Structure 1
Amino acid sequence: MSLQPGMYDFNLSEEQEQRARRLHEQNINIDLLFQGPLSPSAIPAVVSEAIKELSEPYKEEPMVYSAMPAKWVTKLSASGEIPQYKEEWYKSGITAGNRELHLNDIESMITSMGEVQLQFDSAGWLVKALNAEDIRRAKREGRVAGIVTAQETDALGTNLELLEVLHHFGLRILQLTYNKQNLIGSGCAEQANGGLSNFGVRFVERMNKLGIIVDTGHCGKQTTLDACKVSRTPVIASHTGAEAVYHHMRCKSDEEIIAIADTGGVIGIFAMPWFVHEDPDHTTIDHVLDHMEYVIRLVGVDHVGIGTDWPMSDLDWSLVYFKEHIAPKLGFAKGDGPSTETVAGLEKYSYFINFTRGLVARGYTDEEIAKMMGGNWLRVFEQICG
């Protein structure tokens, strides 16, 4: 049986293929670190070159220059000049994916709030998900849902009132640290592994009160463990891997995975070639599924989800620039972290059905697949956000 383009070869029978298609169409599928729906291979070359020209004036400012392509992709998608934005999302079958705020500083916070809101305002088919019913309704109505999230907290300083403002805007998931040390705690690249600060404890308590999900994706080990002790609601890791499968600073130890599961939370497995397998040039979706299966064996199927984090909604040339000039500033080791490699079977988000197909191939039941593809995330979202 010949496979359609983009379909990873799991050696499924025709009956299994039909079952996978049925499940993927009927399930609520959630990617909680959804950099898509576009990927470099889904963006026309002529658009890539045009954006490169538009970004050139900013080349003397590396951080600004690196961020410009993604900003232009958002603007051009909103104006309908990149129709692949909608096409790829619908082809993916992803019911809900996050729309990310950037909280590096006040300027980035305000700018990204505008950029995120532009996505909702310009697309009647994209719904801002404030609660679980918004996601279910989007599924029923043939639309898709965006969950507002953020991976940094630096812009907030010690002003917890700003956290409440962001909640009013729609923020529902917030990561405590991003690799390095901040006012809240230690990130996964921080040598000290210091855990939550006193302010960090108050920060988590305010998140609980507001109904914002505590995310430990980039947190250090002790920060993750402390967050699980302090939080009165389930804690998640939106995008990570299992350290026992591949030892990387971005992966979680057994102790962390168990602690997150004990809160009722979920561990989302990412599809980043450098973080799930030793050879980023030959990483496949089977390697990603290996991480999922390890977590299942450790804490059960109720605590596993997907947060791909890759590929980026960006351009090949800017991703190379990011790896060479920006990643080291964010705590990544030289040569490590995001670039142009992709996981075989997830080169585009329109290939997302490969997750469902892979879980079918590995013998999971319909109910178990529904949980891992989005049901577990929806359960936590409903418990905390309503």
Structure 2
Amino acid sequence: MSTYEGLYDFKLTEQEEERAKRLHEQNIIIDLLFQGPLSPSAIPDSISDRIKELCEPYKDEPMVYSSMPAKIITKLSACGEIPEYKEEWYKSGITAGNRELHLESLDSIITSMAEVQLQFDSADWLIKALTAEDIRAAKRNGYKAGIITAQETDGLGTNLDQLDVLYNFGLRILQLTYNNQNQIGAGCAEQSNAGVTNFGKRFIARLNKLGIIVDTGHCGKQTTLDACAYSTTPVIASHTGVEAIYPHMRCKSDEEIIAIAKTGGVIGIFAMPWFVHEDPKHTTIDHVLDHIEYVIRLVGVDHVGIGTDWPMSDVLWSLVYFKEHIAPKLGFAKGDGPSTETIAGLEKYSYFINFTRGLIARGYADADIAKIMGGNWLRVFEEICG
């Protein structure tokens, strides 16, 4: 196991460690809400200092100032100035992770499309995953696959035709709401718990027609239930947790989990310290695995996956600023993250084998581990996207 770093102490035997290495290397592994492959601890201090210097002129514009580091990291990585970008992805063993568009405004749509395309154009080892076969081919040929996703829809207005444009660009997964109310439905931070609107129902129908997966990660309870009722294809929650384990607004109730599973969909469990356990400073990968196991007991092993959503591809000073100045504007309660905490066992994406190791420690069979680590996501992707 010398090729892997940051091994969490699951007390595996030598034979179990060899099994974990074999499974991790042979399986298609998908992190469907993937902020990496970089993380603050993988970004050199010299790069962090350089980024801060570049951002300082924008400190009077909080939203711009907060978003700039991730954009600069993307550009520097594309130019080869942060070799850790590729190194971390390959060390992680992750076959496919999402590349995220930002659809909150027309400007952000245009800018993020350019930034995402730059990632594909500049890295000869990264391919755009439009179909399940693209992901399989990436695995066979030693490449990595990027699945284009988006978490908000405000910039689209009520023009459904824009979805066709985004689909043609490569968008394959779209979240209906992000915490708050929009024209489609209510997010998880809305007290009204209003469900999907009339327009939202038409929006879901267009997603179904195009072959874009309906994501309910940040949706409110009724919006999630309505999406499951209206969608004719499997619905997912790309990154969430289990409300029965930790009652946070970002977690799903048993009713929502069951509804998603009944569509044939998958519940992705995140690794965000503030959302899976009561003490974010002492949250471990075991706590994340508890959420995974709960979903398995409730709806079966065919309906759970991983969507870590953490750690961020950002620098520490920027994360602190985000928590203090930006998170409250996005519907998060004061002090409710995101910030600098990480999951013990997933401080870097290169530690991703700890998921495989943890599932072995909990007694799962090889076939079930393959489903949890990526097979379930691949099944839904193939059914909807081809």
Partner of 2:293: 293
Q: Which amino acid aligns with 2:69?
A: P
User: Secondary structure of the residue that 1:214 maps to in structure 2?
Assistant: strand
Measure, in 2, the Cα distance between the counterparts of 1:77 and 1:25. Answer: 25
Partner of 1:313: 313
Within-5 A mapping of 1:168-179: 168-179=168-179
Partner of 1:338: 338
Partner of 1:19: 19
> Is 1:283 matched up with 2:283?
yes
Q: Which amino acid aligns with 1:67?
A: S
The runs of 4+ residues in structure 1 deviating greater than 6 Å are: 1-4
Partner of 1:365: 365
| Offset at residue 220 of structure 1 (A) | 0.1
Measure, in 2, the Cα distance between the counterparts of 1:277 and 1:231. Answer: 32
Partner of 2:214: 214
Aligned residues: 386
Partner of 2:84: 84
Measure, in 1, the Cα distance between the counterparts of 2:349 and 2:4. Answer: 15
Q: Which amino acid aligns with 1:251?
A: C
Measure, in 2, the Cα distance between the counterparts of 1:294 and 1:241. Answer: 10
Distance change (3 Å), C-alpha of 1:2 and 1:79: closer
Measure, in 2, the Cα distance between the counterparts of 1:159 and 1:2. Answer: 53
Q: Calculate the aligned-residue CA RMSD, in Å.
A: 1.0
> Is 1:247 matched up with 2:244?
no
Within-5 A mapping of 1:93-172: 93-172=93-172
CA contact (8 A) 1:32 1:268 kept: yes
Contiguous gaps of at least 5 residues in structure 1:
none
Partner of 2:232: 232
Measure, in 2, the Cα distance between the counterparts of 1:2 and 1:182. Answer: 49
| Offset at residue 5 of structure 1 (A) | 4.1
Measure, in 2, the Cα distance between the counterparts of 1:3 and 1:210. Answer: 42
User: Secondary structure of the residue that 1:241 maps to in structure 2?
Assistant: strand
Measure, in 1, the Cα distance between the counterparts of 2:7 and 2:317. Answer: 26
| Offset at residue 262 of structure 1 (A) | 0.1
Measure, in 2, the Cα distance between the counterparts of 1:272 and 1:312. Answer: 10
| Offset at residue 2 of structure 1 (A) | 10
Measure, in 1, the Cα distance between the counterparts of 2:89 and 2:182. Answer: 34
Measure, in 2, the Cα distance between the counterparts of 1:6 and 1:317. Answer: 23
User: Secondary structure of the residue that 1:99 maps to in structure 2?
Assistant: strand
CA contact (8 A) 1:51 1:69 kept: yes
CA contact (8 A) 1:224 1:256 kept: yes
CA contact (8 A) 1:266 1:376 kept: yes
User: Secondary structure of the residue that 2:252 maps to in structure 1?
Assistant: coil
Partner of 1:60: 60
Q: Which amino acid aligns with 2:64?
A: V
> Is 1:50 matched up with 2:30?
no
Partner of 2:350: 350
Partner of 1:184: 184
Q: Which amino acid aligns with 1:48?
A: S
User: Secondary structure of the residue that 2:281 maps to in structure 1?
Assistant: helix
Measure, in 1, the Cα distance between the counterparts of 2:220 and 2:302. Answer: 24
User: Secondary structure of the residue that 1:346 maps to in structure 2?
Assistant: coil
Partner of 2:257: 257
Measure, in 2, the Cα distance between the counterparts of 1:60 and 1:282. Answer: 34
Measure, in 2, the Cα distance between the counterparts of 1:2 and 1:370. Answer: 22
In the superposition, the TM-score normalised over structure 2's length comes to 0.99
Q: Which amino acid aligns with 1:326?
A: I
Distance change (3 Å), C-alpha of 1:50 and 1:225: same
CA contact (8 A) 1:244 1:253 kept: yes
| Offset at residue 3 of structure 1 (A) | 11
Identity %: 81
Distance change (3 Å), C-alpha of 1:4 and 1:173: closer
Distance change (3 Å), C-alpha of 1:379 and 1:289: same
CA contact (8 A) 2:172 2:385 kept: yes
Measure, in 1, the Cα distance between the counterparts of 2:3 and 2:256. Answer: 39
Measure, in 2, the Cα distance between the counterparts of 1:255 and 1:86. Answer: 40
| Offset at residue 337 of structure 1 (A) | 1.8
User: Secondary structure of the residue that 2:37 maps to in structure 1?
Assistant: coil
CA contact (8 A) 1:265 1:380 kept: yes
CA contact (8 A) 2:38 2:349 kept: yes
| Offset at residue 235 of structure 1 (A) | 0.1
Distance change (3 Å), C-alpha of 1:2 and 1:83: closer
In the superposition, the TM-score normalised over structure 1's length comes to 0.99
User: Secondary structure of the residue that 1:50 maps to in structure 2?
Assistant: helix
Partner of 1:75: 75
Measure, in 1, the Cα distance between the counterparts of 2:4 and 2:196. Answer: 48
Measure, in 1, the Cα distance between the counterparts of 2:347 and 2:335. Answer: 21
| Offset at residue 216 of structure 1 (A) | 0.1
Measure, in 1, the Cα distance between the counterparts of 2:48 and 2:295. Answer: 38
Measure, in 1, the Cα distance between the counterparts of 2:233 and 2:5. Answer: 42
Measure, in 2, the Cα distance between the counterparts of 1:354 and 1:236. Answer: 24
Distance change (3 Å), C-alpha of 1:3 and 1:101: closer
Partner of 1:38: 38
User: Secondary structure of the residue that 2:146 maps to in structure 1?
Assistant: strand
CA contact (8 A) 2:4 2:350 kept: no
CA contact (8 A) 1:3 1:9 kept: no
